[in-house]
Amino acid sequence: MDKPIEQVNTRPAPITTQLNETLALSIQKQLNRGERGKAVDIRPASSALLTINSADRYKPYNNRFNTPDLSGVLLTSPYDFTIPLPGNIMSGFFTRIALTSLQLPFTVPTICGKTNGIYIWWQPGGSGAVTRYLAQVSLNTFGGYNSVANILTALQPRIRTLTGSTTFTCAPNGTNGALYNSNNTDKFYFTRWDNPAVPGAATFFDLLNIQDTQILSVTQFSYPVPILTQYLDIVCDQLTIAQNLKDASTGGSGKTLLKRIYLFGDNTTTLFTAATTFFSGPVVIQKSYAVPKYISWNSDQNIGALRIQVLDDRGIVLTCGPNNGPFSPSATNEAGHMWLDENMSDWSMEIMLSEI
């Protein structure tokens, strides 16, 4: 059997102009090293950081502390804001961007202006006319509804007041359930109230996980899941505009994302556990990504004005909803402060820009 003929790269270096002589020598050097079985010198891609803070929507920063009526400052939400810079934020020949870390304090109360209502249809004595009432619990402090039991305890007197019933109860039942009972011959059922200011957002009907199809009955049962959203989507069209392969979702939102942030850890075994863990008080969501989502970028394009939004799992901008009450008797200053979007905590993220 003939011995294989060893192939040796004898190609000369490319003919170049004086400007590119260094590049040609570098290519020839790598080819020669490859022929001798040696490693080829490489270098990591150069990169830069773009750090974004929602507080930077105010220029200067202390504008947010001025009285809007006196200073003319428009207070805005940290979940939907624009960075007001007169020129470009970034200039350079980068071709990839990626969100590499994020820190977001989740401060939207579970029971707020967009979630605090539910319709109850009531039939006294189990016969005759059926009347619909809108039951809205009082808005309280963030930790005021830190369990399913507390939510049900707040709902019960509201329904009693509206219907005139002195026997209606709603209370935890079993491990994760809730039982609603007229405790007499009165019949009722629940339907979803859709807040007109935030159509499609989760409301009390969703948080209590009421069965969609109901009939008049003296009792109703549900497995409450008081979770505002399963995840958050970070959206900025100005940063994803050059992404050729667009993102997709079974929900059909059509949004291209910087990143999706799941709120629950790998060890969360039930939604009930997740709810009591994550939404009984403010929680700081901190994420770092060793392998982020790389987004293509045109190397001759600068980064200018940015509008950044945080969306919930229904594709709606994260919000507390309208400040519509009713408010608890002890809420002296809460009506003007606690549930306004502009008073939610600021958050920040780090974006890496690289040349490959």
Most confident of 236-240, 267-271, 318-322: 236-240
CA distance 134 to 162: 8
The pLDDT value recorded for residue 67 is 62
Provide the greatest CA pair distance for the chain. 103
Position 303, amino acid: I
Between 90 and 348, residue with greater pLDDT: 348
> Once rounded to an integer, what is the mean pLDDT over residues 99-116?
87
The pLDDT value recorded for residue 99 is 95
The pLDDT value recorded for residue 250 is 80
Identify the band that residue 4 occupies on the pLDDT scale cut at 50, 70 and 90. low
CA distance 323 to 321: 7
Q: Among 113-122, 181-190, 249-258, 274-283, which stretch is predicted with the lowest mean pLDDT?
A: 274-283
310 pLDDT above the threshold of 80: yes
Q: Closest Cα to residue 154, out of 328, 333, 350, 12?
A: 328
CA distance 11 to 31: 9
The pLDDT value recorded for residue 322 is 79
Task: Tell me 63's DSSP state.
Answer: G
State pLDDT tens for residues 183-199: 999 999 999 998 888 88
CA distance 245 to 261: 20
149 pLDDT above the threshold of 70: yes
Q: Closest Cα to residue 54, out of 355, 345, 353, 352?
A: 345
The pLDDT value recorded for residue 10 is 54
Domains, the chain:
47-108+228-354 (2.60.120), 117-222 (no CATH)
For all residues of the chain together, what is the average pLDDT?
Answer: 80
Question: 3-state DSSP call for residue 244?
Answer: coil
Whole-prediction pTM: 0.80
State pLDDT tens for residues 33-76: 555 556 666 777 788 999 999 999 988 777 776 666 566 678 88
Extended strands (E) in the chain: 47-53, 80-82, 96-106, 117-123, 131-136, 169-173, 177-181, 187-191, 219-222, 231-235, 259-262, 283-288, 295-296, 307-311, 348-354
Question: How much of the chain exceeds pLDDT 90, in percent?
Answer: 35
- What lies within 8 Å, CB to CB, of 242 at 6+ separation is 295, 296, 297, 298, 301
> Once rounded to an integer, what is the mean pLDDT over residues 98-117?
87
7 pLDDT above the threshold of 70: no
335 pLDDT above the threshold of 50: no
Identify the band that residue 332 occupies on the pLDDT scale cut at 50, 70 and 90. very low
